Amino acid sequence: MIESPSGFWGPVVWIIAAIVALLIAYFIQRRGEKAYKKGVQSETFLMGNPKLSEGETHIKAHNIYWGFFEGLKKYYVPTIAAHTGIINDHLIWFIAGIAVVVIILFVTGGI
Amino acid sequence: MVALITHSPILIIAIPLVAAFLTPLIGMASKKARNALVIVSLAFVAFLVIILARDISINGIHIYTLGATSPELTLPGGAMVPIRIILEVDAMSIFMGIIWATVSLAAAIFSLSHMAGETGQNRFYTLLLLMVTGGFGMMFTGDLFNLFVFLEIASISGAALIAFRTRFADAVEGGFKYIVISAVAGLIFLFGVGLLYAQYNSLNIGFLANAMQYSTLDIIALTLFLMSLTIKTGMVPLHMWYPDSYTVAPANITAMLVITSHACMYAVFRICFSLYGGVLDASVVGWIIVIIGLLTMFVGVTMAVFQTDVMRFMSYHAISQMGYMWLGVGVGLAVLGNPALDTYGRDAISGGIFHILNHAMYKPLLFMTAGALFHRTGTRDLNKMGGLGHNMKFTLILYIIGTLSIAGIPPLNGFASKFLIYESVYQFNPVLAVVAMLVSIITLASFTKAFQSAFTGPQLPEYKDVKEVPKPMLIGMGILAAAIIFTSIFPGLVVEHIVNPATDALINQAAYVNGIMGGGMP
Amino acid sequence: MMEHIPLNFPFLAAALLVGVSFYILIFKRNLIKLIMGIGMLASGVNLFLVALGYRAGGNAPIYTDVPEGPMVLPVPQALTLTSIVINVAVLALMLTMVILIYRHTGSLDSEKSRKMKG
């Protein structure tokens, strides 16, 4: 158990509480519908659409968070353009970083 | 046994070095003997690190002077200046040493089967042991020029290991970028060391901390040290070479390179807290590090959501998690010398250091699962994978453990360290804690995306006969997963015995200096 | 201030070398020229290290048959030797990688030979 300035965290208590909650959920589920047929009633409901092959129903990685990227386009387009991959640009950032930190330290140090 | 403990710092550095040069000789005779030599030497080094850690927790700082008549004789004959190279191991150094010993052992076991089809394996194991030497040297040294030498040893062997599979064009390009950045950073670091030597005529960190007056040249030296070490840890905006290099390396080498960048972060803390500790303009440098941490977290994770190459995706997450460590320790540095240090500064530094430990356990695990995916499917592109969870069940479970840990979901250990960071950083400035939580949510989102692309879904026809990965790879990943589960269930033990002594050793500059300057004997 | 320039001449030369090498690293696209720039940066830092050990009128720091007078500092000379050796290894490794990059991509330009970005 670790202490922090405004609280504590004890994982053993959390795990016991989680196990109790899962047990309660399991017992509620056991009292459910007894006439359930596994397999037939859990097929995908396609509503008259043609059944696609396995490879075509899997959403590829780049299409998953499309809305997130569209919404943040103003942030993403300049940032991705800045990651050029040219080694000279990496060194420009390095030397500019040294200059900026030196200026900050001198201005606030008052020398 | 007592002699073993006394000489353990130099043995920990020397045994991988000697084993590195014996490996090609023994490898010419028999491959099994060479594999046994690598695993046995790394296991023995791990044993030495554990007994040294126990000794430090009982007896305090452990000094080792190379070449003196007795190991603690730093000021022989009543001299005023410490001579000879001195290794100074305090609680923070041995904390990093424990991490490095565990991860390098797991990575070496992983590479027994991951690199089994490659040619030139003798050179691979030689370079791996040289990188282990470089890492331990960086963590245990008490001397600035020694830090430079071991930094370069680790960089050269790391770059050669990244470019090891020369049949891939992007592997060689990644290695080239790594060695150019490391060479320029090392030379700028050496320039800073020269500036300090010119003023104070000594290279020893303890002696310099005593003699330091904060003149103009010292400010320039501090900037050069900070920038050259932080570019190697991948802080934004100097991070753009980092994913290019860490994507194309073999997966277990990337795991070890992450710990090498942690060692560079350790060197920054050593310079800020122990070398410049009393004279530093603490609030300015602390705020610079806090802003660095915020930028790193945010840019790292938003670029990570965008990636489709699984190793590149994990490299951006490595950048983002380093931001948490900068944030925690930066807040602690900003309140150094204030009474606020006792209320929340110490817990902020503890949170940052605990996050180093947790990151060093789950990030190599995640990189190794990505390596397992590459080993079996031959591609790193998430657009091509799908439904692999049906075949690779153990990799699936290990990936889930890693994901829950990095996203900070209770009860795993990522939550414990993020909890400490949130609660203490909130009292410094609430905006910081809000940004940190936002980044944590986006982390979980991006890992769910990779999980859905690679593991779930229907089984694709081209991956029908993909099998589970071989046993050495599972054992390597299992060591790290066992460490994660142990730290999750008993975080109190870990924080009290490993992390809090490290925090106290960092804040307590006087004890560090006393170890060197008080070690004189007639 | 002008009378201090002859004394400070090695430091000015080291600063000039480092400055020219920064110019090369930023603006030159050819990978071989980039490696030459890193070699020049190494020369600048090594010159700085040796120059800071000089004491006016000093002799070489060797004890055998040394004439009277001050000696220059020996420690920066040891640092410089170590740094020269490390830079030889680094330059050799970089040249090997450039050869392999040329074989794979057929170009030595830092923009045309890159395969990863974003």
* ∠ CA A22-A26-A28, rounded to 5°: 115
What are chain A's partners, defined as 3 or more CB pairs within 8 angstroms? B, C
Compare all CA atoms of chain C with the CA of B150 and give the residue at the minimum distance.
Answer: C86
Alpha-carbon distance C116 to nearest alpha carbon in chain B (angstroms): 6
Q: Which CATH architecture has domain C9-105?
A: Orthogonal Bundle (1.10)
**Residue A72 or B73, more confident:** A72
Closest Cα of chain B to C60: distance in Å? 18
Q: How far apart are CA C14 and CA C7, in angstroms?
A: 13
Is B413 in contact with A16 (CB distance < 8 Å)? no
**Is the confidence at residue C3, as pLDDT, over 80?**
no
CA–CA separation, B45 and B14 (whole Å) = 10
Partner residue facing C116 (CB), from A80, A85, A95: A85
Q: Quick check: B306 and C118 CB within 8 A?
A: yes
Distance CA B326, CA B286 (A): 10
A85 vs C26: CB contact, 8 Å cut-off? no
Over residues B407-460, the pLDDT tens digits come to 988 888 888 889 888 888 888 889 999 999 999 999 999 999 888 888 887 778
Please tell me the distance from the alpha carbon of residue B166 to that of residue B171, in angstroms, as a whole number.
Answer: 7
| Residue of B176, B193, B203 with shortest CB distance to C98 | B176
Q: Is B236 helix (H, G, I), strand (E, B) or coil?
A: coil
- Provide the H-helix boundaries in C28-74: 31-51
> How would DSSP label each residue in B460-502?
PGGGTT--PPPHHHHHHHHHHHHHHHHHHH-HHHHIIIIIHHH
The answer to whether residues C83 and C42 touch, using CB atoms and an 8 Å cutoff, is: yes
Task: State which residue of chain B sits closest to A14, comparing Cα positions.
Answer: B411
pLDDT at B76 over 80: no
Instruction: Quote the ipTM score.
Output: 0.95
What are the backbone angles phi and psi of residue B141, rounded to the nearest 5°? -85, 155
Query: In 3-state terms, what secondary structure has residue A38?
Result: coil
Among the listed residues B421, B244, B456, B269, the one whose alpha carbon sits nearest the alpha carbon of residue B345: B421
Q: Residue B326 — very low, low, confident or very high, per pLDDT cuts 50/70/90?
A: very high
Chain mean pLDDT for chain B: 89
CB B228 within 8 A of CB B185: yes
Domain boundaries along the sequence of chain C:
9-105
| Contact (CB<8Å) B452/A90 | no
Cα distance between residue B451 and residue B404, in whole Å: 12
Say whether residue C5 is in contact with chain B using an 8 A CB cutoff: no
Q: Is C50 on the interface with B (CB under 8 A)?
A: no
B182 pLDDT above the threshold of 50: yes
Q: What is the largest CA-CA distance in chain B?
A: 78
Cβ–Cβ gap A62/B308 under 8 Å: yes
| B contacts of A90 (beta carbons < 8 Å) | 177, 181, 238, 240-241
For residue C67, the model assigns a pLDDT of 83
pLDDT by residue (tens digit) across B260-285? 999 999 999 999 988 888 788 888 89
Report the mean per-residue pLDDT for chain C: 89
Handedness of CA B14, B20, B26, B32 (dihedral sign): positive
B75-76 and B520-521 strand pairing: parallel
The conformation of residue C37, written as its DSSP 8-state character, comes to H
The torsion region of residue A85 among left (phi > 0), alpha (psi -120 to 50) and beta comes to left
Query: pLDDT tier at B225 (50, 70, 90 boundaries)?
Result: very high
Query: Please, what sign has the CA dihedral across residues B402, B97, B321, A60?
Result: negative
Residue spans of the domains in chain B: they are 283-489
Q: How confident is the model at residue A41 (pLDDT cuts 50, 70, 90)?
A: low
Angle (CA) B131-B223-B504 rounded to 5° is 65
Sort out which chain B residues have CB atoms less than 8 A from A5's CB and list them.
343-344, 347, 423-424, 427
Percent pLDDT > 70 in chain A is 85
- Which pLDDT value is given to residue B522? 40
pLDDT of B360 above 60: yes
What residues in A contact B382, CB-CB < 8 Å? 60-62
Cβ within 8 Å, pair B387-A54: yes
